[in-house]
Amino acid sequence: MSRLLRGVYIVWIVLRYGLDELVLASFQKPWLHWIARVVSVGRRDAPRGQRLREALERLGPIFVKFGQVMSTRRDLMPVDIADELARLQDRVPPFPAVQAVAIIERALRKPLAEIFVSFEQVPEASASIAQVHFAVIKDRSGRTRDVAVKVLRPNMLSAIDSDLGLMRMMAGWVESLSGDGKRLKPREVVAEFDKYLHDELDLIREASSAAQLRRNMEGLNLVLIPEMLWDFCTTEVLVMERMVGVPISQVERLRAAGVDIPKLARDGVTLFFTQVFRDGFFHADMHPGNIQVSLAPATFGRYISLDFGIVGTLTEVDKEYLAQNFAAFFRRDYKRVAELHIESGWVPRSTRVDELEAAVRSVCEPYFDRPLKEISLGLLLMRLFQMSRRFHVEIQPQLVLLQKTLLNIEGLGRDLDPDLDLWATAKPFLEKWMLSQVGPQKFIEQLKAQAPHYAKLLPELPMLVHSYLKRGNETSGSDRLVAELLLEQKRTNRMLQWLIGLGIGFAIGVGLMLAMTGLRQYY
């Protein structure tokens, strides 16, 4: 019943704010418009972009998230709508400061005056899940620091659970009634969305994600990530280092300050592919409200990342599969792209490689050697989706978040530098990454990672083998299997010892050669 009432409410909001005009504009049946008018007596009279934004705000956080994603896709919607939706990035109506203070005092178990030296009652930013206040705090050493205090909106869990319940119900309908239901996996996609939204409601989890990204990005010199003040972080309140920068959407202001805008666009692509393919851990909510640019002399022109409530992760299998697809795509090796889809099981084994190759070529070839302003990844994904129906490609729910982030990145790149060649910028990085996955460096890293395991296992092997031989014919089949596995492990260890010895010998030999060269130069 609650889901039914929520569905009725959504339909009423759609009609109340006149959003039916956006849907029914192409319909030539006058009676449809007449029914919509009768049902929605007293509808809002305002520009369509404003009505859409206000409707999404009324419908709650899930719909606001949708509006945030769409605000970055100016190639897919009229400018007036995109401008209004951009206000959802950090200008959602705030909740009262009295409520924010009450949440902070309850979470940190102290009066506000004992926690902060000063606290700004008016929020600096307000988004769908939380709002941010600036403050000054004393850390353990007694030093005052400028901080940003993120406070979770009250009653968020019940609101999100209500909408997710409705989405699960609708996903079940799609799966049972649609011919594409099994292939599209709507329930699994909703489950992924459910997981990410609930993760975003835990600010401790967000703080730990920020700390991980901060470690991963050290030494890259492309992005700044705020330090978390762990003594003041709870599931409802997060206190972090205050970052000072210019919102990335203010391109003219950045250009006037001397920021190299084309380089900034290229750096954004590098950051995305580094986080995805090198680390398998990426910021997955990269709309303009969460990204600034530093103008401080020491960090001039670097990105500032904010809001780590949604992060994506990829397994080694996912990373390798995606990297191989991208690499084949950049080489225009469409046959390899088709083979990878079949090998991964994404399409039926009976699929003909040549037919899939031709279909991929027809979709991708028109987009090569063109600047970003002439490419729409949204339309490209739409064509790929149409192709996937023909070849029964199964949707991969774990990659939905990556696709969303890729659309965000393209939207940002388009705003910064429409002449950016996305493919040429990404190709060298991917080629370098692929080389690191199959070269000697990867072998050495794996050897180092497994060394403690082998060091612990080696002393135990002689006793285990001796026990097996002593028991002789009394050994059961399962014991014999264990012993055979152990013997195989011992042979593997001997091989590893030989390789390690070879590596050490090689290193010593190189060292001696360098030393001899130095002595000859000395004499």
Question: Do 370 and 318 belong to one domain?
Answer: yes
State whether 391 and 449 are in the same domain: no
| 293 and 422 inside one domain | yes
| Burial class for 268, CB neighbours closer than 10 Å (0-12, 13-18, 19+) | buried
* CA 73 – CA 376 distance, rounded (Å): 9
Cβ–Cβ contacts within 10 Å for residue 507, how many? Answer: 10
Are 361 and 453 in a shared domain?
no
Helix (H) or strand (E) holding 280: none
Q: 10 Å Cβ neighbour count for 514?
A: 10
Measured N-to-C along each axis, helices 316-330 and 334-344 cross at an angle, to the nearest 10 degrees, of 160
Tally of structural domains, the chain: 4
Give the chain's largest Cα–Cα span.
Answer: 101
Q: Nearest-CA neighbor of 115 among 136, 132, 145, 142?
A: 136
Strand 303-305 with 125-126, pairing: unpaired
Q: What predicted TM-score, i.e. pTM, was given to this entire model? A: 0.68
Among residues 242, 246, 286, 252, the alpha carbon closest in space to that of 268 is found at 286
Whether 130 maps to a domain, the answer reads: no
- How many other β-carbons are positioned within 10 Å of the β-carbon of residue 474? 7
Q: Which of 438, 468, 490 is where one domain is finished? A: 438
Q: Are residues 356 and 307 in the same domain?
A: yes
124 occurs within a structural domain: no
Here the tokens at position 477 are 């089949």
Q: What share of the chain is helix, strand, coil (3-state, %, to 5)?
A: 65, 10, 25
Buried b (16+ CB within 10 A) or exposed e, 165-195: ebbbeebeebbeeeeebebbbbbbbbbbbbe
Catalytic pick from 285, 307, 318, 417? 285
Per the CB < 8 A criterion, the answer to whether 284 and 405 are in contact is yes
> Does some domain include residue 128?
no
DSSP letter assigned to residue 189: H
369 is catalytic: no
> What residues contact residue 390 under an 8 Å CB cut-off, 6+ apart?
359
User: Which residue among 44, 59, 87 closes a domain?
Assistant: 87
Residue position matching structure tokens 């994603």: 69
Residue 342 lies in a domain: yes
Domain assignment of residue 180, yes or no: yes
203: in domain: no
Q: 240 lies in a domain?
A: no
Report d(CA 204, CA 237) in Å as an integer: 8
Out of 56, 87, 118, pick the residue that ends a domain. 87
What residue numbers bound the domain in which 513 lies?
440-522
Do 190 and 320 fall into the same domain? no
Are residue 258 and residue 381 in the same domain, yes or no? yes
Q: What is the pLDDT along the chain (523 residues), one digit of tens a residue?
A: 666 676 777 777 777 777 766 554 444 455 555 555 555 555 566 787 888 888 888 877 777 777 766 665 555 567 778 778 777 766 678 899 999 999 999 999 999 999 999 999 999 988 778 899 999 998 777 889 999 999 998 887 777 777 777 777 767 766 665 555 565 566 776 776 677 677 778 899 999 999 999 999 998 899 999 999 999 999 999 999 999 999 998 999 999 999 999 999 889 888 888 898 888 899 988 877 789 999 999 999 999 999 898 888 888 877 777 777 777 877 788 898 888 878 777 778 888 888 888 988 887 787 776 666 666 655 665 566 567 667 776 656 566 677 777 777 777 777 888 887 776 777 777 777 777 765 566 666 666 666 666 666 666 667 666 665 666 555 455 555 555 555 555 554 554 444 444 444 444 344 434 433 443 343 3
Name, in order, each residue with C-beta under 8 angstroms of 395's C-beta and a sequence gap of 6 or more.
Answer: 183, 184, 185, 188, 189, 388
Residue 322 near residue 300, CB atoms below 8 Å: no
Q: Is 215 exposed, middle or buried (0-12, 13-18, 19+ CB in 10 A)?
A: exposed
User: Is residue 455 domain-shared with residue 509, that is, in the same domain?
Assistant: yes
DSSP result, 404-457? HHHHHHHHHHHHH-TT--HHHHHHHHHHHHHHHHHSHHHHHHHHHHHHHHHHHH
- Distance (Å, whole) CA 68 – CA 60: 12
Same domain, residue pair 430 and 395: yes
Is the same domain home to 268 and 369?
Answer: yes
Q: Does residue 314 sit in the same domain as residue 250?
A: yes
Same-domain pairing of 265 and 413:
yes
Angle at the Cα of 130 from the Cα atoms of 129 and 131, rounded to 5 degrees: 145
Give the integer Cα–Cα distance in Å for 117 and 454: 54
> Is 64 inside a domain boundary?
yes
Nearest partner of 73 among 369, 311, 419, 415, judged by Cα? 415
Euclidean distance between CA atoms 383 and 389, whole angstroms: 10
